[in-house]
Chains A and B, each alone.
Chain A
Amino acid sequence: MNPLRHSLRVFAAETLKQHRRLFGQPLVVFSMLVWPVLQLATTYYTLRPVATASRAAENWPLAADPDRLLAFLATGTLAYAFFFSLVQSAWHLSFERTTGTLELLFLSPAGRLTLMIANGAGALLQNAWLLTCFTVAALTGFGTLSVSAWWMYGIVLLALLIPAVAWGAFLNSLLVFSRDSAFLYTILDEPLWFVSGVRLPHFALPAAVQVVGAVFPLTGSLLAVRGALLEHRTASELAPTLLGLGALSALLLVAAALILRVGEARARRTGALSLV
């Protein structure tokens, strides 16, 4: 009984499960690559005429250059794809209540938080790699990248992966014990896109929206990713953002662990695997 080995085995198991779910249908390439790229194109051609107008450039200099605007939106799409793939996998996990397999997960001796993290990470790794490669290749090709050091790519990856995994574990824990997963799905699609500054720079959003956006790790991830890739920021310049992201990730994981504790205790009392 080696807890670390057991956790790794749960990771492997969940990764296979997610692989079968994601690659079970032939349209997967569509949802993984074509769909985000289409969305990116739509946004770009909608925004370009407005953003490149002379008055707009005064407030948002980056937008004056169409290539940099495209890079800005592409990083937004990439980061959004990371986080949204976790909303999707949490949604699927909540369906395991109906198929009876959720109870089997809780019947097993596998660690609950491990399961929730592994489930999200398994989906994330397989969902986002294609788009990541594509985005990096495209940005390099356009020559719009402005990176202070090669290892900033590593920081970018971590700034995306760690908060996303924590976010996934949090969502999974919440949805596993909630009957209203449809509701959560609705509030986390378009609104997430909006408040996190996927299509517009964070500073352009109303103050209230900025506050709401700060709750979502996607916001911080975007700031870090764009800072590192497009604005030539160094690690020390990004340190406050990165620290904030780290704190938020830790908070999400603690919240996930708490929800799991309370949720499972409640489920064992009432017989319903549900918080509501």
Chain B
Amino acid sequence: MTMTTAIEVRGLRKDFPVREKGILGPRTLKRAVDGLDLDIPRGRVTGLLGLNGAGKTTTIKILATLLRPSAGTVRIDGLDAVADARAVRRRINLIAGGERMVYTRMTGRENLWYFGQLYDVPKADLRRRTGELLDLVGLSGAADTMVERYSRGMTQRLAIARGLVNRPDYLLLDEPTLGLDAPIARDLRRVVADLAAHDGTGVLLTSHYLAEVEELCGHVYVISAGRHLAQGSPAELKAATGSHRTVRLTVTDPTERTRAAADAFGATRETLPDGGELITLRHPGDMAGPLTAAVFEAGGSIGGLEIAEASLEDAILTLAERGEAGLAGPGSGRPDATTIRPGAATAPPEAATAPPEAATVPPGAGTAPSEAAAAGVKGGTP
């Protein structure tokens, strides 16, 4: 295998031994990850999405060497995550949200020093780095305060600084903003974007806040029940699922003619308490203009217009639903894994959003707009 600067995951599988009914019960295997292929290059934030229990945390822990894969390979800059685990540990770090992951009986600075020692960060570097990191997460003022007197957000920010203390080449983020206030979460997103863009860090991010994923990730993998479902840039995924924009138009004086105009678009109508009517149209294209024009020409007066963009959330939900339906069916093997483009691993971030050469799977049944097919995300099970 050639040496690449990326995390390369091939055919990853993880079976957990589980015992039903206590320690004497029969042992079975629970498959948490089932044949994943991932490429996490430097300098890009790669997203890993899926519903609860999809296998995101399991995957991240395998990359972090905390779990051993049952099958498949994980290579980090050519190092094997199992055979060269110790060397790998120096190059990576993991930040998980929602837990107290630092020592409360030490100060913020002492915590960073402690972990710096464990990572054998050169002494002079460590002093400088500790200062920089405390600055970065806005804890300089509380650097010498015991963590037990920190607020939750401060503790979480310290946990983030802890994850950067060894200057990891690859940073694994498992729901890092869980439970954080909006401003702190925003600061964290800025830090993560900077790490990828300026320091060339390879970041793998899982998050339930899809807006966050949309903002940060150049490339997203969607998994369900441990299996690959789809991948692409957030825009490609939305296009592939034919996610809909929602147009909400309020007509103050609805008539038969305005109703007919709305119905012609296939919109739904709803009578408002004040006698007006709310026309709602979900459509993959930009229909706000044509709809408004048609209602206006039919003699309606427009009381309000609201357009909600398609969200990645819709796309993921659609994919997950499809995935579950598909995976349940017979003969639904692992989706074609050839979607990984050669050279993608070393490509600059923008390249991630470039459409793949060819679409193998037509997106969403029937509702797919033609431009989505052109965008060409290879979806999961058709």
Contacts and interface: CB of A to CB of B under 8 A. Distances in A.
Nearest to A21: B105
B67 A268 contact: yes
B150 interface: no
Contact of B118 (A24, A108, A265): A108
A20 B120 contact: no
Interface stretch (B109-117, B222-230, B372-380): B109-117
Contacts of B114: 13, 16-17
Contacts of B120: 1, 5-6, 9, 109-110
A22 to B, nearest CB: 10
A12 B117 contact: yes
Contact of B17 (A99, A265, A269): A269
Interface residues of A, number: 30
Nearest to A11: B117
A251 B64 CA distance: 32
B93 interface: yes
Contact of A103 (B17, B66, B119): B66
Nearest to B120: A6
Contacts of B86: 109
Contacts of A108: 89, 115, 118-119
Interface string B338-381: 00000000000000000000000000000000000000000000
Interface in A254-276: 265, 268-271, 276
A13 B106 CA distance: 11
Nearest to B165: A108
Interface residues of B, number: 34
Contact of B117 (A1, A13, A101): A13
A17 B103 contact: yes
Interface in A219-276: 265, 268-271, 276
Nearest to B121: A9
A101 B118 contact: no
A107 B94 contact: yes
B262 interface: no
Nearest to A25: B105
Nearest to B123: A9
Contacts, number: 79
B320 to A, nearest CB: 23
B102 interface: yes
A105 B118 CA distance: 8
A264 to B, nearest CB: 10
Contacts of A20: 103, 105-106, 110
Given A106-B66, A269-B68, A270-B17, A101 B61 contact: no
Interface string B65-92: 1111000000000000000001101100
B106 A271 contact: no
Contacts of A6: 120
B118 A270 contact: no
A268 B101 contact: no
Contacts of A9: 117-118, 120
Contacts of A10: 117-118
Given A16-B114, A271-B61, A109 B17 contact: no
A191 interface: no
A49 interface: no
Contacts of B106: 16-17, 20
Interface string A1-33: 100011001101100110011001000000000
A100 interface: yes
A30 to B, nearest CB: 18
A109 B119 contact: yes
Interface string B26-68: 0000000000000000000000000000000010010011111
Contacts of A17: 103, 105-106, 114
A242 B367 CA distance: 83
B148 to A, nearest CB: 9
A151 B291 CA distance: 98
A146 to B, nearest CB: 43
A276 B23 CA distance: 9
A269 B70 CA distance: 8
Interface of B: 16-17, 23, 58, 61, 64-68, 86-87, 89-90, 93-94, 96, 99-106, 110, 113-115, 117-120, 162
Given A16-B110, A16-B114, A107-B65, 10 more contacts: A13-B113, A16-B106, A17-B106, A20-B106, A105-B118, A109-B87, A109-B119, A268-B67, A269-B68, A271-B16
